[in-house]
Amino acid sequence: MLETVYVALGSNEGDSMATLRSALQHLAARHGVSLLACSGAWETTPVGPVTQGNYLNAALSLQTEIAPRALLNILLEIEGHHGRKRLVRWGPRTLDLDILLYGDHLIEEPGLRIPHPWLRRRLFVLEPLLEIAPELIHPEDGEPLADSLDALRLLQQERVLRVADLAPEEN
């Protein structure tokens, strides 16, 4: 069955804009994946205990019949292609790709939780996600994700700023 899936993208090592665009192209080129929308690139301050540079974050929506675990494996492969090494939790990275939502499915397996467990707690995820899908609701409780975004904006613990379009310009 065809599902709408939302994926978060992030990078803060190397040429982050080029990395995000490349990851987007790699994913869109996959058999069985149709890209629906892509947010702009958002510059965000890092979260966590590790000192590091700012991130570029984005979100995309796609349609696919690829099962969640197989899609996760594709995302991990794309991360690896872009030099991702998992050395430090919440540390700097060339590329981070996370499944945020997979239709309205609730999945809890080793190494795979959907919706993403930090979805409602990260401004750097919600800003780009709701740029492309402002009406999204959380499948666990039916609450609009815009409510979570409003609450996080009030806390202002992170700085996020939309800095550029992510999708490459058409020639």
Query: CATH no. for residue 117?
Result: 3.30.70.560
Number of domains in the chain: 1
Q: Which residues 6+ apart lie within 8 Å of 62 measured at CB?
A: 4, 5, 7, 27, 28, 33, 34, 35, 36
* Contact between 57 and 44 (Cβ < 8 Å): yes
Q: By three-state DSSP, how is residue 80 classified?
A: helix
Which residue among 15, 30, 89, 96 is the active-site one?
Answer: 96
Q: Which of 62-66, 92-96, 147-151, 152-156 has the lowest mean pLDDT?
A: 152-156
Pick the more confident residue, 110 or 169.
Answer: 110
**Domain-embedded: residue 103:** yes
Which residue among 84, 89, 121, 159 is the active-site one?
Answer: 84
Write out pLDDT tens, residues 5-14. Answer: 999 999 999 9
State how far the Cα of 107 lies from the Cα of 116, in Å rounded to an integer: 9
* Chain mean pLDDT for the chain: 89
Q: Find residue 57's DSSP bridge partners.
A: 10, 42
Average pLDDT (98-109) is 96
Does residue 165 have an active-site annotation?
no
For residue 115, CA distances in Å to 45, 83, 106 come to: 23, 26, 6
Q: How confident is the model at residue 155 (pLDDT cuts 50, 70, 90)?
A: confident
Does residue 113 have an active-site annotation?
no
Does residue 30 have an active-site annotation?
no
Neighbours of 57 (CB within 10 A): 28
- Per-residue pLDDT at 42: 92
Which residue among 21, 69, 89, 93 is the active-site one?
Answer: 93
Which residue among 98, 120, 122, 162 is the active-site one?
Answer: 98
Tokens of 41: 């690139």
**Domain-embedded: residue 170:** no
Average pLDDT (67-85) is 90
Average pLDDT (147-163) is 79
* Contact between 42 and 159 (Cβ < 8 Å): no
Average pLDDT (40-45) is 90
State how far the Cα of 118 lies from the Cα of 163, in Å rounded to an integer: 23
Neighbours of 88 (CB within 10 A): 12
Q: Which of 23-32, 33-42, 85-94, 117-126 has the lowest mean pLDDT?
A: 85-94
Does residue 96 have an active-site annotation?
yes
Pick the more confident residue, 136 or 55.
Answer: 136
pTM of the model: 0.90
- The yes-or-no verdict on residue 171 having pLDDT over 60 is no
The boundaries of the domain holding residue 50 are 3-165
**Domain-embedded: residue 171:** no
Q: Find residue 137's DSSP bridge partners.
A: 144
**Domain-embedded: residue 137:** yes
- Per-residue pLDDT at 142: 94
